[in-house]
Chains A and B, each alone.
Chain A
Amino acid sequence: MSSTTIKPKPPKSSKDAKSSKGSKSSSTSKTPTSDDPKQTHKLSLKGSAKMVSEFFDYGINTILFQRGVYPAEDFTYVKKYGLNMLISSDDQVKSYIRRITTQLTRWMLAGKIKKLVVVVTSKDTGEDVERWQFDVSHTKPPTASTSQGAQEKEKGEAEVQAEIQSLFRQITACVTFLPMLDGRCTFNVLVYADGDAEVPMEWGDSEAREINGGEKVVLRSWGTSSHRVETAVSYRVVE
């Protein structure tokens, strides 16, 4: 089943890599022919999906660092989004996150994801103490005829990057109001997928694991022309 849906994509990707850069600049200069807007849109959709899944990768890493799920020594600095992003350098953690993100990328490309949730759980009590939720919505692709509107909506890469940057700044700033996580913590990744999404063996059904009686803080959102990611963190209130 899975092979049939994925197979058709690779041949496109090679073109993608070459033309994706050009497409953005060309889309403004070229007069849109009958196929052109559609094509550029397709590319940006795919690029956007990749961008979102890449964002998840950095997002998970940032949460793990900021909330001290893993020791700070395990993280190394990487330049991304115009920020110094912290990426785990621990081999086990790295491969664990990679396993998640590769599947996320697949789902993103197929457009099967509604939400990504990172749940931080206390190891001592087994309670969920924090829940980071990233809602992904597919913004309606502008129709081919309204190419002008598309161009208006089309955000520059720099603009998207700035949005992501300010979100990460906000996530970093969250540690100031989030309660201290006492004791050791671990984390889980949940995904709200469509019912017809292909599910590998590693993924199993779960409950929502909402934080009961917790507070929720909605953070900034960011988006490309085809995706919109809204972020919120809910956490247990300590009396």
Chain B
Amino acid sequence: MASVAVQTPVKSHSGLFTTRTAGGRMPLTPSPRARQAGNRNNNKKKEEDQESKAVKNNGSVYGGGNLAVHFAALQISPAGKKRSTSPKSTIARISPIKLDLGVSEWTLTGSGSSKGTGRTPEKQKKKKEPALQSKAPRRAKATIRVIGDRFIPTRSASSPTATSKLDFANVQKGGPQPREGRSRPSSSHSTHSVLAGGAFGTDSLSNPYGTEDDEEVVYPPPNPENLAYQSSVAAACGVKLNTRILAFKPSAPENQKPIDLRSQYNRPVKPVNQAQFRRRILTAPERVLDAPGLVDDYYLNLLDWSSQNCVAIGLERNVYVWNADTGTVTSLLETSPDTYVSSVKWSQDGAYVSVGLGTGDVQIWDVEEGTKLRTMAGHTSRVGVASWNKAFLSTGSRSGAIFNHDVRIAEHKVAELNSHTSEVCGLEWRSDGALLASGGNDNMVNIWDARSLTAPKWQKTNHKAAVKAIAWCPWQMNLLATGGGSYDKHIHFWNSTTGARVNSVDTGSQVTSLRWSLTYKEIVSCHGFPDNQLSVWSYPTLVRHIEIPAHETRVLHSCLSPDGQVLATAASDESLKFWKLFEKKKETASGATSLRDGGKVPMAKQMTIR
């Protein structure tokens, strides 16, 4: 009991002490803020005090005595010093208050009666522990100033900048914000000590004090405490010089791509409005025809449009010719039942059509007469592709061999081009007949010089799938476009003079055929899975102008009308569709209509000039 009485007065002293400081005994703590903080704490304490008045009653009498003595006592008081290191933070405040409230309940109920009544030792202990705890913050309040007294000389000596420097130093040490940083560890410390006190104090009250006495030996306050004080003073004085440099700690996201600023500087400041330069392209088919029985085989070439404006299509064993001028359809031929049509190609004048068969034979038919002119044997397997160069016909077969036939002479085979190791599915003579480009299922693109056919002039292995789509550029003779199959999905552009790849574009789907526009600097590509679309690209920018979902299934074949305006596409959904992709402008359109009959001649001229 006596011990309780001894401790409680100390609390009340702290109250007295703070009133004294407020009364101007400590002239060097000028900040109103600090006072406010003190008052706040005092208020809290008052609440506590009111609640635990009974406990304090003894103390108030005691406190009425010699203040100086108590002051000295406080200074010496080890507990006070120790706890002085714990200024209040919100966290620190909360926990002791709770404890205090717990205590006060006890005191309110018990203090009046407890004086006389003999309590069980357990309860007494409980009372004592809270008493210790509740005392702690109060003392701390008071002793802060005491320690403040000790440091006043240094603080007054230090200029505001010095304080800021100190503050900054503190900050640089990695401590968070000065106040919080100060409060957090200390609060944990104090609570810890309280807990420790509670834990050890069950047996003897002197125990917690004993431990603190040990700490008191190391009295000179540690440096952080000093700094904390400085910063608090600086803050209290409203010194704004303590600017902190803060960095946003998370590192900036990585950029994957290498950057060449040089190219960036050349960009136009305003984005080029491509919409206004983009011409309108009709997205609906102009005409749809049925193509029943069209063999769904990527490696065949069963559609062609003649210079006489007739479309020939091979449907299983038959070849039909659809006259685009009149719209009439005629059946040109029907093969023997043991084979099928594997390729159809018009001669350049549009009078004859070559028909490759599954047996390896190649037939030449006169369309006007509807008669077969000759059959050229030689290939051992089906002839999937053919290309005319005046009187010469080149044919590519499944074996990988390419034969050149002179259709005028009996010994028709004039050259054998051996390079491909797998089925040839793309074959295209340049318009001047100087170069032949071939693509095969061995993923290779060969460019042959008509003058030396023993070995290809260029051999390109960039494609990763079969190359069926091959097209020579009509306005730049040495430019060749090739498109790869479903694993490749790329269109590569080659310079046939240097053999260099000049451009590439990933189309995102299998390229089944490529056609250059005759009127625009554009190229159209036909695609398979997944969209079975037609894509119109401008060249050389390779901007995709439009994508038209064209067919239900992959677009197998395509060909351009002789006037270059309409693209015909055949797909395995057994339909033949006509698309007016390269419609001529109005002023040229009048000339284009006459082009139907007479216009082919100038175009043919154009071709030969080039």
Residues on A facing B (Cβ under 8 Å): 1, 67-74, 77, 84, 90, 92-93, 96, 99-100, 103, 114, 175, 180-181, 184, 186-199, 202-208
Contacts and interface: CB of A to CB of B under 8 A. Distances in A.
A21 to B, nearest CB: 30
Given A68-B264, A195-B242, A205-B174, A84 B248 contact: no
Nearest to B231: A195
A205 B259 contact: no
A154 to B, nearest CB: 27
A204 B253 contact: no
A93 B255 CA distance: 9
A222 B174 CA distance: 35
A195 B243 contact: yes
Given A71-B259, A184-B255, A190-B246, 19 more contacts: A68-B260, A68-B264, A70-B259, A93-B252, A93-B253, A96-B252, A96-B253, A175-B265, A192-B245, A193-B244, A193-B246, A194-B242, A194-B243, A195-B240, A195-B242, A199-B177, A199-B246, A202-B248, A206-B246
B536 to A, nearest CB: 23
Nearest to B269: A84
A206 to B, nearest CB: 3
Interface in B254-287: 254-255, 257-261, 263-265, 267, 269-271
A37 B118 CA distance: 71
Nearest to A90: B253
B115 to A, nearest CB: 43
Contacts of A188: 247-248, 251-252
Contacts of A204: 246-247, 249
B275 to A, nearest CB: 14
Contacts of B263: 72
B153 interface: no
A180 B247 contact: no
Interface string B139-176: 00000000000000000000000001001000110101
Nearest to B239: A195
Nearest to B243: A192
Contact of A72 (B176, B234, B252, B267): B267
A187 B253 CA distance: 9
B250 interface: yes
14 contacts: A71-B255, A72-B263, A72-B264, A93-B253, A180-B261, A181-B261, A188-B247, A188-B251, A190-B245, A191-B246, A192-B245, A195-B178, A198-B177, A205-B174
Interface residues of B, number: 39
Contact of A84 (B90, B255, B270): B270
Given A68-B264, A184-B258, A194-B240, A203 B248 contact: yes
Nearest to A208: B245
A18 to B, nearest CB: 34
Contacts of B251: 186, 188
Interface in B520-559: none
B235 interface: yes
Given A84-B270, A90-B253, A96-B250, A191 B259 contact: no
Contacts of A103: 248
B248 A207 contact: no
Given A90-B253, A181-B261, A100 B246 contact: no
A100 to B, nearest CB: 5
A100 B267 contact: no
A236 B235 CA distance: 37
* Nearest 5 pairs of A and B residues by beta carbon: A195-B242, A206-B247, A92-B253, A68-B261, A68-B259
Contacts of A206: 245-247
A189 B248 contact: yes
A114 B167 CA distance: 18
A188 B247 CA distance: 7
A1 to B, nearest CB: 8
A29 B164 CA distance: 47
Nearest to B241: A195
Contacts of A187: 252
Contact of B244 (A72, A77, A92, A192): A192
Contacts of B248: 99-100, 103, 188-191, 202-203
Contact of B259 (A184, A195, A197, A202): A184
A196 B244 CA distance: 9
B247 A84 contact: no
| Interface-centre pick from B243, B254, B257 (highest chain A CB count, 10 A) | B243
Nearest to B176: A199
Contacts of A186: 251-252, 254
A93 B248 CA distance: 14
A88 to B, nearest CB: 10
A92 B265 CA distance: 24
B152 to A, nearest CB: 22
Contacts of B271: 77, 84
A205 B247 contact: yes
Contacts of A90: 253
Contacts of B240: 194-195
Contacts of B244: 192-195, 197, 199, 205
Contacts of B246: 190-193, 199, 203-206
Nearest to B262: A180
B482 to A, nearest CB: 27
A205 B258 contact: no
B247 A189 contact: yes
B265 to A, nearest CB: 6
Counting chain A CB atoms within 10 Å of each CB, which of B174, B245, B261 scores highest?
A: B245
Contacts of B270: 84
A194 B240 CA distance: 7
Contacts of A114: 243
A195 B242 CA distance: 5
Contacts of B171: 195, 205
A198 B178 CA distance: 11
A84 B234 CA distance: 46
Q: Which of B248, B258, B259, B267 has the most CB of A within 10 A?
A: B248
A93 B235 CA distance: 37
A3 to B, nearest CB: 11
A72 B247 CA distance: 26
Nearest to A191: B246
Contacts of A100: 248
